[in-house]
Amino acid sequence: MKGKSWYKGGMDSSRWIINANICILILLLIGCGNDSEWWSQIQFVDSTYLRAKTEYFIGDTVYILFTGEHPHSEVPDDFLVEVLSNLGDHEFIILTPFLSGPDTLTNPRIGKIKTQEGDTLYLENNGILDVKPGGDTIFVHSGWKTFPALDTAYVKRR
């Protein structure tokens, strides 16, 4: 008799699990029907801000382009991003609206920062990104919860 009651209890719990899975599936399907899509992208670009770029030389100015949209939040006019090097330097720069950019870009924000060869860890925010003398990978990222984005590039010797 114990076996039958255990089996019946097992059937009840498995039926409950199936019902819970069906409810979760329905909620997921309802949530997927939401038309409020959002996206953001940040990338290193050339000086025209129109073509993606993955390599620079030490001493060059690095150009950054952000585009994105969100149905419930506007992209701020002054968009703060962080640029980092493997040397340990990190600089905060403000991206501003790209007024002369093509209409195909959505909410474009642009900015630039100069690179220089460094040999120690720099903790000051001086507007110049110090990179390793032999070459370095640099990163730019947006810490905005609404507009997350990341890109990398390589800075090399001439």
Kindly report, residue by residue over 77-133, the tens digit of the pLDDT. 898 999 999 888 889 999 999 988 888 888 999 999 999 998 766 666 788 999 999
Give the pTM. Answer: 0.73
**What share of the chain in percent tops pLDDT 70?**
73
Euclidean distance between CA atoms 121 and 57, whole angstroms: 20
Q: 19-50 burial, b if ≥16 CB within 10 A, otherwise e? A: eeeeeeeeeeeeeeeeeeeeebebbbbeeebe
Q: Is the pLDDT of residue 12 over 80?
A: no
* Per-residue confidence (pLDDT) for residue 101, from 0 to 100: 83
Q: Is the pLDDT of residue 30 over 70?
A: no
CB 62 within 8 A of CB 153: yes
* Per-residue confidence (pLDDT) for residue 70, from 0 to 100: 83
* Per-residue confidence (pLDDT) for residue 27, from 0 to 100: 56
Tell me the mean pLDDT in the region 136-151: 88
Q: Is the pLDDT of residue 6 over 60?
A: no
Q: Is the pLDDT of residue 45 over 90?
A: yes
